[in-house]
């Protein structure tokens, strides 16, 4: 059993995890947190949106975790679309939170920095509030919309401040985010815990390479991940065009796995660059197919450009490439170096020509590729393993609940203000 409390202390403890931007268990980080807490004796409930092709049931109990889902239409059409999305999500979250009833911990995962609002009904009844900061929303706004520090930017900064103020404990995905919570959020260092995301090693087990996936070429390049405006797929495509035209290399085939709101634009860009014969977009695919591509890939691509968000964010795809023992080419970002270390080569920020040159360097050096792949796997099973994050997560929950009287499951709601720390 995980954790350092006795089974009697854990009996009946209830946690409610709030998620808005992904369904569960599709959100792998949230699911790992759910199962870690479950194994430590917590009764875990989750409120999240319904998925489109999976996680579609309104109610589900999976491996002892109770999941409550609501319908949600993703934002389109600018700020008004986000207002509709977030308004609907907050209403459904508040409705379902009342259905779940009193809990000891309400654990809100951003974005958006709005979930402290439906959590108030629970915190006023004695729950402790844990803020799980998956993204820095002000930096996300600057990086995604390129509108500068306008009125909406000031609004998201205000919401971040309110979320920090409401939080008893903050979970940060890396040391850069922890520094923001302390410096910008005014949190005490002892109230901020680094809980790094980590790939599920049992999901990312290499299999025998399949040369036919290389489409008749000697080498396969692979991108895995979301395709949004800030994710750099356009940088990767322009770098591949330079690999063909300037480095004079055509001995490769590339596959881009994943989806997002820039997917169609990226397919069109590949056509404009004359890459349609050498680049394939798969969309989202089953895990088994994903593992086949990654096991066959010679080089994996992490083209996230340098911007206020990417420089301080941990990229899940980098960790997943490492788990599969693949060498990586990345732009030189602060947290990319923290995660990958010597498992990646780093092009100067947003330098597509150097990115292309480093791909060619790795294609010419199978021994270097093997060394880098081994380094990545060792880091994932060592210092970056989920086991280390589990200990930090449980320490955060222990700090949140320290000295607190448990809320009776289903018992009468308490009124009045939360006790001050």
DSSP 356-419: HHHHHHHHT-HHHHHHHHHHHHHHHHTTT-HHHHHHHHHHHHHHHHTTPPPPPTT-PPP-SPPP
Average pLDDT in the chain = 92
Q: Tell me what the mean pLDDT of segment 58-78 comes to.
A: 91
Q: Tell me what the mean pLDDT of segment 84-89 comes to.
A: 94
pLDDT of residue 77: 65
Residues contacting residue 356 through CB under 8 Å, at least 6 positions apart: 239, 240, 242, 243, 246, 247
Neighbours of 137 (CB within 10 A): 22
* Alpha carbon of residue 97 to chain centroid: 24
Q: For 232-286, what is each residue's pLDDT tens digit?
A: 999 999 999 999 999 999 999 999 999 988 999 999 999 999 999 999 999 989 9
Confidence of residue 403 (pLDDT cuts 50, 70, 90): low
Residues contacting residue 153 through CB under 8 Å, at least 6 positions apart: 138, 141, 142, 147
Confidence of residue 214 (pLDDT cuts 50, 70, 90): very high
3-state secondary structure 124-175: CCCCEEEEEECCCHHHHHHHHHCCCCCHHHHHHHHHHHHHHHHCCEEEECCH
Cβ atoms of residues 336 and 226 within 8 Å: no
Q: Tell me what the mean pLDDT of segment 55-73 comes to.
A: 96
Q: For 163-210, what is each residue's pLDDT tens digit?
A: 999 999 999 999 999 999 999 999 999 999 999 999 988 888 999 999
DSSP 7-18: HHHHTT-EEEEE
Angle between helices 151-166 and 137-145 (to 10 degrees): 160
pLDDT of residue 144: 84
pLDDT of residue 1: 35
Q: Which residue has the higher pLDDT, 148 or 375?
A: 375
Confidence of residue 406 (pLDDT cuts 50, 70, 90): very low
């Amino acid at each position: 059993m995980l954790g350092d409390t006795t089974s009697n202390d854990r009996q009946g403890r209830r946690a409610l995890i709030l998620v808005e931007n992904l369904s569960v268990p599709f959100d792998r980080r949230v699911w790992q947190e759910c199962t870690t807490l479950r194994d430590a004796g917590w009764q875990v409930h989750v409120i999240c949106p319904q998925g489109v092709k999976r996680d579609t049931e309104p109610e589900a109990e999976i491996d002892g975790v109770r999941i409550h889902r609501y319908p949600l239409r993703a934002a389109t059409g600018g700020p008004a679309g986000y207002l509709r999305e977030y308004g609907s999500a907050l209403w459904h979250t508040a409705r379902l939170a009342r259905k779940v009833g009193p809990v000891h911990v309400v654990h809100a995962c951003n974005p958006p920095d709005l979930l402290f609002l439906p959590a108030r009904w629970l915190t006023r009844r004695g729950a402790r509030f844990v803020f799980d900061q998956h993204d820095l929303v002000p930096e996300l706004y600057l990086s995604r919309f390129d509108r500068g520090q306008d009125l909406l930017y000031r609004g998201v900064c205000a919401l971040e401040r309110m979320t920090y103020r409401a939080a008893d404990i903050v979970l940060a995905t890396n040391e850069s985010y922890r520094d923001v919570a302390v410096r910008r959020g005014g949190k005490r260092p002892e109230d901020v815990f680094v809980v790094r995301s980590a790939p599920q090693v049992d999901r990312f087990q290499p299999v025998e390479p399949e040369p036919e996936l290389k489409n008749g070429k000697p080498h396969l390049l692979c991108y895995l991940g979301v395709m949004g405006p800030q994710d750099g797929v356009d940088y990767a495509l322009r770098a591949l065009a330079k690999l063909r035209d300037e480095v004079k290399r055509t001995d490769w085939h590339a596959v881009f796995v994943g989806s997002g709101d820039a997917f169609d634009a990226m397919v069109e860009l590949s056509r404009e660059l004359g890459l349609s014969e050498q680049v394939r977009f798969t969309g989202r695919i089953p895990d088994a197919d994903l593992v086949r591509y990654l096991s066959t890939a010679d080089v994996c691509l992490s083209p996230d450009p340098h911007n206020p968000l990417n420089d301080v964010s941990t990229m899940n795809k980098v960790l997943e490439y490492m788990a599969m023992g693949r060498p990586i080419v990345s732009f030189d970002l602060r947290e990319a170096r923290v995660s990958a270390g010597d498992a990646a080569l780093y092009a100067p920020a947003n330098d597509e020509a150097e990115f292309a040159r480093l791909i060619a360097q790795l294609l010419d050096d199978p021994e270097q590729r093997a060394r880098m792949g081994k380094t990545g796997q060792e880091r994932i099973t060592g210092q970056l393993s989920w086991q280390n994050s589990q200990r930090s997560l449980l320490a955060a929950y222990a700090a949140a609940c320290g000295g607190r009287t448990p809320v009776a499951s289903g018992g009468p709601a308490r009124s009045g203000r939360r006790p001050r720390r």
